[in-house]
Amino acid sequence: DDDVQHDVLLWMIQKPKEFYAAGIGALMTRWDKCINIGGDYVEK
């Protein structure tokens, strides 16, 4: 639906760079934990 895509795009554009940086940082931490325990999923 075009309206939903438009609204999501606006939401994403309005987020500050720090929002995305924090998300990427969290992923990197979780990936590291997963690799270190030899698993495929890590809880928060």
Name the domain count of the chain: 1
Q: What confidence score (pLDDT) does residue 42 get?
A: 61
Residue 11 lies in a domain: yes
- DSSP helix/strand/coil, 43: coil
Note down the domain range covering 23. 1-37
Whole-angstrom distance, CA of residue 14 vs CA of residue 4: 15
pLDDT value of position 3 = 97
Residue 36: per-residue pLDDT: 86
pLDDT tens string 22-44: 999 999 888 888 888 887 666 66
- Cβ(8)–Cβ(2) below 8 Å: no
44 domain-assigned: no
The answer to the question of residue 42 being in a domain is no
Tens-place pLDDT, residues 2-24: 999 999 999 999 999 999 999 99
pLDDT at 33 (0 to 100):
85
User: Is 43 part of any domain?
Assistant: no
